Amino acid sequence: MWNLLTGPGAAYRPGLAATALLALSVVVSARSVIVVGPADDLQAALNRTSAGDVIELAPGATYSGNFVLPVRADTGIVTIRTRGEAGQPPAGGRVAPRDARLLAKLQSGSSQPVLRTAPGAHGWRLELLEFGPNAQGVGDIITLGDGSTSQSELRQVPRDLTIDRCYIHGDPTRGQKRGIALNSARTAITGSYIADIKGVGVDTQAIAGWNGPGPFTIENNYLEAAGEAFLLGGATPGIRELVPSDVTFTRNHVSRPSEWRSEKWQVKNLLELKNARRVTISQNLFERNWVAAQQGYAILFTPRGERGEAAWATVEDVLFDRNVVRDVAAAISISGHDDGGPSGLAKRIRISRNLFHAFDREQWGGNGFFLLIGDGPSDVIVDRNTILQRGNLIEAYGAVRGAAVTIERFTFQNNLALHNSFGIHGQSRGVGNDTINAYFPGGVITHNVLAGARASSYPAGNFFPTEAELMAQFMDANQGDYRLKPDSRYETSADDGTRLGAPIQQLKRLLGIIVDLRDRPEVGVGAVRR
């Protein structure tokens, strides 16, 4: 039986293979240190390295060109880094724009990437470096692997790559199409800061991959893009039947400046999976997504077969756990399959222990929905979330010859949520049971607080306080403190006798880990916004 658990003895943990990447990426004892000055030939130094070598660049110096990480005969790691200086972020930390003066800068003078991998390159670590924008903001700043049909076999895929504590940014005025093209294998991006990835009339991503098998670890980064901060899929892989797999996306701060709303950039989503398998998205802060080029959903799980060219594309075995999503027009959209051509099915998606709040229609636009779901995904579990949305709780869609396309084995349990006007609603259906019977037959909808709903409209076993009564259960809802009071009836109302909703105290501790308050002082958890 399918299981997505996170404790000891779990039957399945998506992304476990990816967590081993950090261990693979530890720098071994250096055989030699190659010092490359600003006037020296960096490409020549790259070409003559061997396993264990460290290339050291000068702090504050700029290295201009279009560099290639070559194939080596050995199997070890070569590190490219800025020479150590006092004040640089330590191992396990995160770089920030203020650190740029302490970093060597790599800069392309053309529209081509400043750094790319040769086919089959392996064993490279980039550490404590700044990467500036391409000319006119075109293309990728860093290209790992090849997204075209030139990379059509797994043996051609670069592997064992790490980007750690690097500052990667577009031009504040022109923007940049993409920070990192992630079409590689066994790759980790950690402790980095990717910003000013934005464009006009073009989709932009901080990190995007479609032609690399994984595993990938994306951990402890600040990611900022107008299109999507993180995207898997979205183009036809050059490798047939490829599905990027075994992905760990954790402890990241995903955001964009609110000022962009009054500017020209094409804004879409914060994170989207279009072709991905075994993905863990955990302990992240997602914020600031508004209606612009799309409807304002922050998180999308939407298989896209690229009009039949990648009919195998799927989104499956996804865990979205212990995240905070706030300041958005709408939260999550799940599509069962591609409506533009054949694709695989979205299935086995678990959304658990998250806080969703600050849905502000005036500031962000949109419908304020928590979950838009349709076209027949299966095995979706929504469990133990605190959901303070300002539109429908769930909106279901999809019909064939007038009959609803059913969503098999759907579970919605142990959540604290607002009902608002329509609560659980489906296309051409009534509120509550009428929608549940049509779209979620046999679904489990129990032990939820549906604040403001009528009990007669929903299955027995749920709770129906007024909105004011629910808010009174929190320690201080007006100040954004959504911990339940010790004497709250919902402390023991879950199906197993434990607390309903998200583990708010744990989430607040995690925010202190993933958010650098010195750079973004406004990131403290805010109150519910109407």
What pLDDT score was predicted for residue 521? 35
CA distances from 91 to 80, 172, 192 (A): 15, 28, 11
The CATH number fitting domain 13-257, selected from 3.30.70, 2.40.50, 2.160.20, 1.10.3470: 2.160.20
339-384 pLDDT tens trace: 888 999 999 999 999 999 999 888 899 999 999 999 999 999 999 9
Task: Single out the residue of 115, 202, 205 nearest to residue 161, CA to CA.
Answer: 115
Is the alpha carbon torsion for 521, 522, 525, 527 positive or negative?
A: positive
What pLDDT score was predicted for residue 513? 66
The parts of the chain modelled with pLDDT lower than 50 are 1-30, 517-530
What pLDDT score was predicted for residue 515? 62
What pLDDT score was predicted for residue 36? 98
Which residues share a beta bridge with 223? 194, 254
Coil, strand, or helix at residue 435? Answer: helix
32-85 pLDDT tens trace: 999 999 999 999 999 999 999 999 999 999 999 999 999 999 999 999 999 999
Sequence ranges of the domains in the chain: 13-257, 267-530
Structure tokens at 30: 């250096």
3-state secondary structure 462-503: CECCCHHHHHCCEEEHHHCEEEECCCCHHHHCCCCCCCCCCC
* CA angle centred on 104, ends 191 and 259, rounded to 5°: 60
Residues 6+ apart with CB under 8 A from 7: none
**Measured distance CA(250)–CA(220) in Å, rounded:** 7
CA 32 to chain centroid, in Å, comes to 37
**Measured distance CA(339)–CA(342) in Å, rounded:** 8
How many CA atoms lie within 13 Å of 111's alpha carbon, on the beta-carbon side?
A: 5
